[in-house]
Amino acid sequence: MIFTELGLEGVHLVEPKVFGDARGAFLELFVGGRLTEATGRTMDVAQVNCSVSRRGTIRGIHLTAAPPGEAKYVTCVSGSVVDVVVDVRVGSPTYGKSVAVPLDDERRHAVYIPAGFGHGFAAVSETAVVTYLCDRVYTPHQAISINPLDPRLALPWPAMDDIVLSDKDRDAPTLAETEALGVLPDHAALRAQVPAGSRG
């Protein structure tokens, strides 16, 4: 398993070793100890989510209010998506910056997303199945949504003829509007929760 930080503090691409033979393939999708060894962070899985999306669907941008926040470990088990992570930690030097990572059922890569970051993805195959491990159980009153088409963010979504959004995501506030509400996570407060050796 190879962990590579993606230019946003604590956000890592995870490349598992895939063992293939005549029967198919096997891989270790998630190993908590290896994540801790590579990132200095621990992740106790509290909930596993699975979403099925048709081509053109964008889900996000979503996060959980911090504290406590929510870490995610995301992979695409069928089809392909473009996974997007955006730094929405107020006071962060990379505030408003984003990274996009292709995830698919061939390379079997994953993305580890610490608490404090917004997350979303776009389905680029006819059908895409995404699973994500979460270190918190979903709590509706702590959920935050940011409009995935916010022109200020200019997120690197793939070119798609028809974009499919939920009403919730379509009507979500922009990053600036969400910041004005005072609900976004604080960079300094989140850093204080992370061991000094793993802060980058």
Based on DSSP, count helices (H) and strands (E) in the chain, helices before strands: 4, 13
Q: Is residue 17, in this structure, part of any structural domain at all?
A: no
Domain span including residue 74 = 45-193
Q: Is residue 33, in this structure, part of any structural domain at all?
A: no
Structural domains in the chain (count): 1
* Burial degree of 189 (CB within 10 A; 0-12, 13-18, 19+): middle
Task: Check the CA dihedral 77-194-39-146 and report its sign.
Answer: positive
Residue 199, pLDDT score:
47
Q: Is residue 198, in this structure, part of any structural domain at all?
A: no
62 labelled catalytic? yes
* CA-closest candidate to residue 148, choices 123, 112, 182: 123
Residue 198, pLDDT score:
53
Residue-wise pLDDT tens digits, 65-74: 988 899 999 9
The low-confidence residues of the chain, meaning pLDDT below 50, are 199-200
Catalytic residue among 12, 112, 119, 132: 132
CA–CA dist 108, 80 (Å, integer): 10
**Residues 97 and 127: beta-carbon distance below 8 Å:** no
* CATH code, 62: 2.60.120.10
Q: Is residue 93, in this structure, part of any structural domain at all?
A: yes
Residue-wise pLDDT tens digits, 107-156: 999 999 999 999 999 999 999 999 999 999 999 999 999 999 999 999 99
Q: Is 93 helix (H, G, I), strand (E, B) or coil?
A: coil
Its pTM stands at 0.93
Q: How many CB atoms lie within 10 A of CB 20?
A: 9
For the chain, give percent helix, strand, coil, nearest 5.
15, 40, 45
Catalytic residue among 62, 109, 119, 187: 62
Residue 67, pLDDT score:
82
The full length of the chain comes to 200
**Residues 59 and 120: beta-carbon distance below 8 Å:** yes
132 labelled catalytic? yes
